[in-house]
Amino acid sequence: MLKIQNLTVQINNQVILKNLNLQVQPGSVHALMGPNGSGKSTLAYTIMGHPSCQVTTGNLIFQDQDITDLAIDKRARLGIFLAFQYPQAVPGLKVFNFLKAAYEAFASEEIVGKVETNDHKSMGVSVLEFKQILDNALVTLGLNPELIDRDLNDGFSGGEKKRLEMLQLYLLQPKIAIIDEIDSGLDVDALKTVAQVLQACKDRDPEFTIILVTHYRRILEHLKPDFVHIVAHGELVASGTEELSHKIDTAGYGLYV
């Protein structure tokens, strides 16, 4: 699904990631662990195409296509999704309108049934159709419908923001989701919702692939990783199975920093 080859990334002319290699097979769950400031978010942002993350060497290959220089929106249309560690609030933008626009722009054509017009705008779904889709998703995910009428992340609790990230993921049906520290500050119930949504996406599409950035093993109790990787000072310093996350839990990152 995704090949990261020899990736070196700079932010503000400072090297943050060094010669990083990672292969992610379709349908797999990769957990990315590591101490604060080790470069996990930078890797997540670089895969998504954040303009501050300057790739100085190496390549990103997504489904056999080189996406190293591709714009963020094009990556999103290919089926790459990033759930933010710190979702932004946008006062004045209703969640419903945001989700509908995102759905029309980024969910795949098989799902939305897009029709391209002359000005290349995609014809999406009607308000009523989308309300139905959204209501179904809310019920499936057990989310509070009141969130939909509020402004995007405005005054949302930490748990509500993360639930909304999961709702976007569920609606857009990407091929790969990079989930950046969704578990920090979440209570047990919200954590279960996150794991349930990820599992629902996996059940719906066996090729759905997850890169789960996390500090703690807690979320891995709910969503079993196929591989665990440790990032320290911008390098991938260890890879293994779930066993590695147990080791981190008892011994900490001391071995790797």
CB of 60 to ligand ADP, least distance (A): 16
CB of 148 to ligand ADP, least distance (A): 30
Q: What residue 34 binds from Mg ion, ligand ADP, none (CB within 5 to 8 A, per partner kind)?
A: ligand ADP
Query: Can residue 87 be called a binding residue for ligand ADP (CB under 6 A)?
Result: no
31 vs 118: CA distance, rounded Å: 43
**Positions 3 through 32 that interact with ligand ADP (CB under 6 A):** 11-12, 14, 16
What separation, in Å, do the N-terminal and C-terminal C-alpha atoms of the chain show? Answer: 30
Query: Can residue 39 be called a binding residue for ligand ADP (CB under 6 A)?
Result: yes
CB of 32 to ligand ADP, least distance (A): 9
Q: What residue 57 binds from ligand ADP, Mg ion, none (CB within 5 to 8 A, per partner kind)?
A: none
Bridge partners of 209, per DSSP, are 176
Stretch that binds Mg ion, among 19-27, 38-46, 50-58, 102-110 (CB under 5 A): 38-46
Lookup: tokens for 71 = 């714009």
Query: Can residue 40 be called a binding residue for ligand ADP (CB under 6 A)?
Result: yes
- Cβ–Cβ contacts within 10 Å for residue 146, how many? 10
Contact 217, 243 (CB under 8 A): no
Contact 60, 2 (CB under 8 A): yes
Applying CB under 6 A, among 36, 88, 117, 250 the residue interacting with ligand ADP is 36
Sign of the torsion angle spanned by Cα atoms 256, 24, 168, 118: positive
CB of 47 to ligand ADP, least distance (A): 12
Contact 153, 41 (CB under 8 A): no
